Chain A
Amino acid sequence: MIHNTKCECGHQNPVGTVLCENCGKPLEDEANTAPLEMRYDGVARRSQRENPSIIDRVWRFFSSVKVAIYLIGITTGLSALGTIYPQENTFLGIDPATHYAENYGVLGEWYYRLGFTDTFGTWWFKLLLIMIGASLVICSLDRVLPLYRALSKQQVRKHLSFLTRQRVVYRGELPSDRYMSGSEASGIQLVTDLTPLLKKKGYKVHTDGSALLAEKHRFSRWGPYINHIGLIIFLLALLFRGLPGWYMDQYIGFVEGEPVAIPDTPYYLKNESFTVQYYTEKELPTEFRGQGRMVPKLYETKAVLYECTADCGMSGVEPVLKEVTQHDIQVNKPLNYRGLLAYQFDYRETPQIRAIRVYLTDHKTEERYGPIELSTTNPKEQFDVGSFELILKDYYPEFDLNENGTPYTKSRSPLAPAYIFLMHGPGLPADGEIYIYFAREIDKQRFSQDKLNGQLAERFEIGASSMDDVSISQYTSYLNIRVDRVLPYLFAGGILFIIGVVMGVYWQHRRIWLRIDEGKEITIGAHTNKNWFGIRKELADVLQKAGIRIDQKQLDNGGNRK
């Protein structure tokens, strides 16, 4: 079917055009007098092509706002279903296959089977988001280009039926008290008189003899496209998060006083000290007092971040660390070093010896040497104490004996540190003697240190002089270590979205067309994309100042109000 798309004004329009691109005359259904469909000013869109190919069909599918609404609606409904029971990620170490059936019965079982226990990670949910993304791109492209074309070349004098079929219409005669009827000059005079009034309301006014086009806030038409671009950036950023190096998320425990390597990075982080504070009874409201209620006030990890410059992650060798930053990490105050983020996540009370300062006492001479410092995580291998030399032969962080009576360590945590030294010095054999030292008094008794050391125990004693020599780390602070390189893009997308929405809904694109025919008949048509009440009021106001009294309600020509 071939339409004749040439308008009577001589302009050749593309197929699918509803209103002539030049004069605005309706090309279809000319006898009708109902208000016009003004969407995108009646220009043809790609999705309206005839004889569509497969690409055209896909394009047409995604360019439909109806489809977009369905997609959003379905996503809304499924998200709501996803909040009925807690999602899998809210539990630690459960088997979802049995957990939901055990806890929520038959409903829970089906919830799991249908995939709702991980709604937001399922393929169908992701597919929906991708489809919404496609719809955003295609809907916008399909409309923004034709709209841009239509708005950038507007004719001032429009076809009469274009004006009378607007939703805001005024038809009347020139007010006889001010203008002489029937003269072309009076028409031009009215246009000249209206121009400053409209300009005062913020309109840009274009005139063409006795015709006028006043337009304002055209930029608000771009609002929807800007907000869609914002959303597209947001969704793309989410996709990019899947790329290696863009996203990292790990939970690491940091015991006080010990730099710990952060895997996959050159960084080490040291928890210098961890503090937890609770509100005192006095700070609590009266209704909470006396219930023994503990309301936390502060969690804080004093953290130092190091960059490892050499010998990183090699066993037995001390890595070379360079301090790069310090930060007191609190909830809401993460450490941030070049995109590496450390959040206060959890803590545990884990009292353990961090280091102990010990003296070597020679009972024969009653002389005391030292002190030397024994670390429980990475002790030095050789010590010089007075005229004696101690060589660390073996170190067991958590000492124990197995069934055969051989020593071994139960874990890497210094819960029962034991040091086995080879001692050299005056009065000792040339190849030295073995001395075993337990840092904790309780272990000394339990494994009978003195018996193990035999005769040597009578001559030498290694030990701390007071509790001040023992440095204890009280807490392990668990930090959430993250890298999320897409965050700036996500927030930029979000902000762009808001800017677009505000542009689109807080301002409205308003246009007023006026023509005076035969020097006396005024025809005004006005269009806005939103807020009809506003434009009617504005127009009535301007007309009144020009001597034409009319109530805003009378300008209403019916039709859909948006």
Chain B
Amino acid sequence: MNLEQFSSNALMLAFILYCVAFIFFAVGMAGKRWRDRDPVQHQARWGRRAVWLTMIGFAAHIIYFITRWISANHVPTANMFEFLTFLGMMIVAAFIILYLIYRTALLGLFAMPISIILLAYAAVFPKEVQPLIPALKSYWLYIHVTTAALGEAFFAVGFAAGLMYLLRVIDYSDQSKESRRSKRGIEYTVFAVVAVIGFILITNMFNSTGYTATFTHPMEEKDETGTWVTVTKTVEYKLPPLIVPDQHTVVHQDPFLGAQLKGLEAPGWMKGLNSARKLNTILWSVISGMILYGLLRLIVRRPLGAVLKKTVDGIDADDLDEISYRAIAIGYPIFALGALIFAMIWAHEAWGRFWGWDPKETWALITFLFYTVYLHLRLSRGWQGKKSAWLTVIGFIVVMFTLVGVNLVIAGLHSYAGV
């Protein structure tokens, strides 16, 4: 077994331990209503076990990180797989730090799934160690990416606590307009998470069966002399094509469920190289998300928010509000340092300008400004509780868009980190 292999085994172990820890957190919560036991003691015991498991998992995760660093000879935060794995690790770290401050083990019930989902999502991307291109050869790769990720991890935990707060205070029997709106909001949030899970399941499924479909399609491009020419581009799909490029030709297409799928042509205005493929991916995640969500709804026969609400019964709502806010307050300067200041220093060294309004840079600034607004609203305008919790949810969407969405949808200079 070589070091790279050992490293990925350690990661697998961390992933499994996180999953078990999550189950323990859930047992701690659900078991409160079991017979012949003291609910407080039961929850404390299982909470402790879960936190221990989390810490052992974290240790395995660190072993993965170090061994991969050694075998790759550069810090493993250089591509999407490595970055998402690292972010997952940082989220666990942020959870552990907040646990040590507040001793609220139940935070893990919502924080761990975020890390688990990110690790599973990382598996969608190519896992092999890649050599660094010249632009990435800098110790700022270590410093900029790691600090930015740690800041984002705190935002993620802030989101977990914010969502718990919302679930805690919402009253599912209340039919008032405001309450109905909150319920809808929570259900959308849950659906978004389920859609991500659905997408991860479906992609990993097709990846493991090795599904491919290849198309060529014409694309207008400006050549060196500035005249428009039509060139033929090749696109490879890893998911069955529901949407195919405009005016495409099939080069090769695996059958899906025994049939040759005939996809819809992407609208003519979608001219980008991979825009049809990206639209196809988005469509698949929505469909798989809807199926998964529908199945879950069929099983529980209630809004999923109402089920989740049960898990946060008995936690002090104000404590959740406080934890959520503190997570963001801790993460804010770390994020600003990593994603803006260090980013500027590196950009200055690598590209000769500290700021260029590249989409990734701009979105890092947007994230920063968003949380600046959050802090001002909370500290100066007295926004706390629900309003503030909703902001943490929106904030997390902004963070995820900056990390993943920009690479998928907009791209730009940072696209080497992308798919």
Contacts and interface: CB of A to CB of B under 8 A. Distances in A.
B247 interface: no
Interface in B344-372: 344-345, 348-354, 356-357, 359, 362-363, 365-366, 369-370, 372
A83 B362 contact: yes
Interface stretch (B175-183, B283-291, B334-342): B334-342
B415 interface: no
B362 A69 contact: no
A298 B133 CA distance: 8
Contacts of A73: 369, 373
Contact of A494 (B226, B344, B375, B380): B344
A556 B316 CA distance: 13
Contacts of A333: 349
Interface string A248-285: 01000000000000000000000000000001000111
Contacts of A120: 357
B321 interface: yes
A14 B337 CA distance: 41
A160 B306 CA distance: 46
A72 B372 contact: yes
Interface string A313-351: 000000000000000001111100000010111000000
A497 B336 contact: yes
B379 A530 contact: yes
B381 interface: yes
B349 A334 contact: yes
Interface stretch (B13-21, B109-117, B134-142): B134-142
B67 to A, nearest CB: 17
Given A80-B366, A332-B134, A505 B333 contact: yes
A76 B370 contact: yes
A67 B138 CA distance: 41
A408 to B, nearest CB: 25
B131 A279 contact: yes
B350 A332 contact: yes
Given A76-B366, A561-B318, A343 B131 contact: no
B133 A498 contact: no
A408 B362 CA distance: 51
A105 B269 contact: yes
A72 B351 CA distance: 28
Contacts of B131: 279, 283-285, 295, 297
Contacts of B269: 104-105
B300 to A, nearest CB: 33
B357 to A, nearest CB: 5
Contact of A79 (B345, B369, B376): B369
Contact of B376 (A69, A502, A529): A69
Given A73-B373, A87-B357, A501-B333, A561 B384 contact: yes
Contacts of A103: 271
Contacts, number: 146
Contacts of A331: 134-135, 137, 350
Contact of B322 (A79, A497, A531): A531
B102 interface: yes
A287 B128 contact: yes
Nearest to A37: B382
B126 interface: yes
B48 interface: no
B235 interface: no
B363 A83 contact: yes
B384 A82 contact: no
Contacts of A72: 369, 372-373, 376
B410 A297 contact: no
A334 B352 CA distance: 8
B338 to A, nearest CB: 10
B358 to A, nearest CB: 8
B248 interface: no
Given A495-B341, A505-B330, A287 B134 contact: no
Contacts of B332: 501, 505
A365 interface: no
Given A501-B332, A505-B330, A562-B378, A76 B369 contact: yes
A511 to B, nearest CB: 17
Contacts of A295: 130-131, 133
Q: How large is the interface on B (under 10, 10 to 19, 20 to 34, 35 or more residues)?
A: 35 or more
B333 A498 contact: yes
A86 B326 CA distance: 36
Interface string A548-562: 000001001000111
Contacts of B350: 331-332
B373 A76 contact: yes
Contacts of B38: none
B322 A561 contact: yes
Contacts of B135: 331-332
B322 A533 contact: yes
A148 B353 CA distance: 39
B377 interface: yes
Contacts of A484: 348
Nearest to B349: A332
Interface string B380-413: 1110100000000000000000000010001010
A425 B369 CA distance: 80
Given A103-B271, A286-B128, A79 B134 contact: no
B341 A330 contact: no
Contact of A498 (B128, B336, B363, B382): B336
A407 B133 CA distance: 47
A15 interface: no
A484 B353 CA distance: 9
Contacts of A533: 102, 319, 322
A151 interface: no
A65 interface: yes
Contact of B369 (A75, A279, A330): A75
Nearest to A531: B326
A83 B336 contact: no
A368 to B, nearest CB: 46
Interface in A486-530: 487, 490-491, 494-495, 497-498, 501-502, 505-506, 529-530
Given A65-B380, A285-B128, A490 B354 contact: yes
A292 interface: no
B337 A498 contact: yes
B123 interface: no
Contacts of B359: 83
B329 interface: yes
Nearest to B382: A560
A415 to B, nearest CB: 18
A41 B237 CA distance: 63
A90 B377 CA distance: 36
Nearest to B378: A562
B129 interface: yes
Contact of B362 (A68, A82, A284): A82
A364 interface: no
A79 B362 contact: yes
A531 B318 CA distance: 11
A279 B137 CA distance: 14
Q: Which of B316, B333, B356, B378 has the most CB of A within 10 A?
A: B333
Contacts of B138: 332
Contacts of A330: 134, 137
Nearest to B379: A562
A530 B126 CA distance: 44
A61 interface: no
Nearest to B323: A533
Nearest to A299: B134
A73 B376 CA distance: 11
15 contacts: A72-B373, A72-B376, A76-B366, A79-B362, A80-B362, A82-B357, A120-B357, A285-B129, A331-B135, A332-B134, A505-B333, A506-B330, A533-B102, A533-B319, A561-B384
Given A286-B128, A505-B330, A531-B322, 10 more contacts: A79-B362, A80-B366, A284-B130, A498-B333, A498-B336, A505-B332, A529-B379, A533-B102, A556-B318, A562-B384
By Cβ-Cβ distance, the 4 closest A-B pairs, closest first, are A285-B128, A343-B352, A331-B134, A332-B138
